[in-house]
Amino acid sequence: MKRLWMLVVALLAWGGGAQGAGLSTCVGRMPNLIADICWSCMMPISLGPGRLMDVRNQEDNGSNPSNPVCSCVVKPTIGLSTGFWEPARIVEVVRRPYCLVSLGGIDVDPGIPAPEAGRSAGVSGVTSEQFYQAHYYTTTVAQLLSVLMDSPCMEKGTFDLAYMTELDPLWNDDMLTAILSPESLLFANPIAVAACAADCVAATAGFGSSKLFWCAGCQGSLYPLNGHAGSAGGGIRGAELMVQRLMAKLHRCLVAWGWEGEAALCGPYLMPEMDKQAYKVQLLYPTPQTYGGVGGRCCQPFGRSTVLWGAGREYPVVGEDFTFLLFRKRNCCAGI
C-alpha cells in the first residue's frame, strides 16, 4: 500500500493532476472489505474431490485433486488437498485515463497521452463500438483472511496497483495486439463468432466451455486482447468483457499464473493460456453485487449473461465506471 501511494504522489507531482482531461469525470469509491464483498463466493471449500463447506450451492469448476492427501518436495510438506475460491485481484474498467476508481476517484494523469474511453452509436442508436481503459490491482483481502485464519494457502502480499492499460501501447492498437496474439486472425470470421453462442449458453448455465477458448461467453469474442469492445452492448457487459480480455492478456504475458488443480498443490505454475473456468467475478462498484445473482449467488463465472445479474447496477455520470473483484480457483496442499 505504501508503494502505491508513493506512485500516486509521484504521478500527481509529475503531471499536475487532471491536465488534458476529456468530458468524462473521475469518480469512485474505495471498497468496503467487509460489507461489499460476497464472502460466500469463496465456497465451496473442498477436501480432495469432496465438498467440506458450501452456502447456496456455489459453483465449482471441478479442478480438485482426486486424492485428499498430498505432499510437496520443494517445501517439505505432507498435508491435505484443499480447494477454495480466493479473492485475489481487483480489476477496474474506466472511461477516463488514469482515473483510479478503487481509490475513491483519484486522477493521477502524468501527462502521457492515452485515449479516453467512449461509445459510438451505430444504426438505430445501438452501441456499435466501445473502448475502455483498465487497471489491475493485487488485494489485501486474502492477506487479511490469512491473518485471521493462519492459513498457509492464502497468497501473501499487499494492496498494489500492478498494471495500467494507459501505459501499454498494445491496448489501443489492433495491429500491435496481433503480435501478442496472432491466433486471433483465425477467429475473425462469422463461423467462429457464431460458435460463441454455445459458450454463452454454457456460461449462463455454469462455466464457459474451455474448448471455445476464443469466446467470452455472452460478452462476445475474447479477441482482440485490447480495449476495443465492438458491439458489446451495455456498459456492464462491455466492462466484463474488458476484465476477461485483460486477464487473458496477463496470462499471455506470464503476469498471471495458474493456481488450480493438482499441479498447483505446491505452488503456482505458468499458464500462458487463460482458463476462463478458473475465475468468478463480483461487481464492487458502482453498486456492490451482494445479491441478485443466479440461485441467490452474488458472483458468476466469466461469460455469464449480465441480464441475470447486472440490471440496475449502472447509472449515468457516477455509475459508468466499474470495479470487479476476481475470485481465483485455488488448490493447495495445506500442511498438517
- Say if residue 10's pLDDT is above 50: no
Better pLDDT: 53 or 231: 53
| Mean of pLDDT values over 95-115 | 90
38 half-sphere exposure, CB direction, 13 A CA radius: 29
Phi and psi, residue 324, nearest 5°: -125, 140
Of 150-154, 160-164, 248-252, 283-287, the poorest mean pLDDT is in 150-154
Q: 209-248 as b/e, with b when 16 or more CB fall inside 10 Å?
A: beebbbbbbbbbbbbbbbbbbbebbebbbbbbbbbbbbbb
Share of the chain above pLDDT 70, in %: 85
CB 321 within 8 A of CB 285: yes
Cell 473483484 identifies what position?
325
Domain boundaries, the chain: 2-335
pLDDT at 136: 97
Provide the whole-model pTM. 0.87
